[in-house]
Structure 1
């Protein structure tokens, strides 16, 4: 099996972002929380470690997040900007409300300020927090991850269900 770039394989994969039984629904519902702790390969996580930048953001909750990468996707109907952060503390049983507040803060205070640097103005921003670096589009069930999407309205991030 040969590897193809992610942008050509999205939609062709058998893996889905949410389990067939539905997603964890607390608070706002619709957040995708992947908390499957299985024996897995740590090699995948370490192979993505070189993508992690030195930029560390201190959040108002007191925790930190480190930018892994920004992925722009203009191939769909609307441009999407994915801001992927590494935050090891999400694996320590972080409270859902605290995590979503931190993700909204990352959208408002970090992602919005970086939009002028992007090639296309996105209509949707996706913020992800992961306990360790991961390769985009590659299932990593052993890594805890949180995802939220936000539309842009009057210069503000507005939470959108997936």
Structure 2
């Protein structure tokens, strides 16, 4: 799931590392787990567009998040995966930062994109 340097492989090959996981902030659908990743390749000049980043987020949800929460009870109603091109505190806005967010539900071990 991660290499020796703590990097998590994704389809695009961009460098992605876990910033943190937040499970104590309620979401719109109930129990929500947030997996926040640093993905410098999405920033200006990084070359990773939204569609490529989305494919990476879906892959992370399936290969990284699903195994991490498999034994968690109760199961979250929603998982939010976020990418940021720089470390930011949870909930902070920075007009210079590039951030992407996607919400998923987990059904039968599969990540299902949710309206966000």
Q: TM-score, normalised by structure 1?
A: 0.61
Contact 1:86/1:129 (<8 A) preserved: yes
Query: How many angstroms does 1:155 deviate by?
Result: 1.1
1:101-156 CA-partner distances (Å, limit 9, x unpaired):
00000100001111046564211000001101110011122111110000111110
Contact 2:78/2:104 (<8 A) preserved: yes
Mapped to 1, the partners of 2:26 and 2:40 lie a distance apart of: 31
Mapped to 1, the partners of 2:25 and 2:83 lie a distance apart of: 22
Count, aligned residues: 109
Please, which runs of 5 or more residues in structure 2 have no aligned partner?
none
Q: Which has the larger radius of gyration?
A: 1
Match of 2:58 in 1: 104
Select between 57-66 and 75-84 the one with higher mean Cα deviation: 75-84
Contact 1:68/1:85 (<8 A) preserved: yes
Q: TM-score, normalised by structure 2?
A: 0.84
| Structure with the larger helix share | 1
- Show the 5 A alignment for 1:71-110: 71-73=22-24, 75=26, 78-91=30-43, 92-110=46-64
Match of 1:70 in 2: 21
Q: CA RMSD in A?
A: 1.9
- Within the alignment, does 1:129 sit opposite 2:92 as a pair? no
Mapped to 2, the partners of 1:143 and 1:74 lie a distance apart of: 22
- Show the 5 A alignment for 1:13-162: 55-73=6-24, 75=26, 78-91=30-43, 92-116=46-70, 118=72, 120-162=74-116
Please, which runs of 5 or more residues in structure 1 have no aligned partner?
1-53
3-state SS in 1 of match to 2:23? strand
